[in-house]
Amino acid sequence: MNDNVLWLNKLVPKHILLDDAEVETKLKPLNVIREQLPKILLKDPALKALDNEAKPGDVVEIHRVSESAGANLAYRVVVEE
């Protein structure tokens, strides 16, 4: 589902939609609850590339390339506005 052309550009970090079980396993070790996550707008182009599957309250995992750490994972919660 994630082989959209958008990810072909190296400046666009890859976004992956997590299901509830994954959210649980990934956020637990970070000591973070959903409400404390940074937000991402539902209308964000990166979410559109996920075939519009994301809905408010979902969590996406973002594979960012960090200048300081190389690969880096970030999590954002989808919000309507």
Q: Is 73 in the site for other proteins (CB under 8 A)?
A: yes
Distance, in Å, from the CA atom of 11 to the CA atom of 67, rounded to the nearest integer, reads 12
Among 22, 24, 25, 30, binds other proteins (CB under 8 A): 30
Instruction: Give the footprint of other proteins on residues 10-29 (CB under 8 A).
Output: none
Dump the DSSP string for 54-80: --TT-EEEEEEEETTTEEEEEEEEEE-
Minimum CB separation from other proteins for residue 69, in Å?
A: 4
Site residues (vs other proteins, CB under 8 A): 30-32, 35-38, 66, 68-69, 72-75
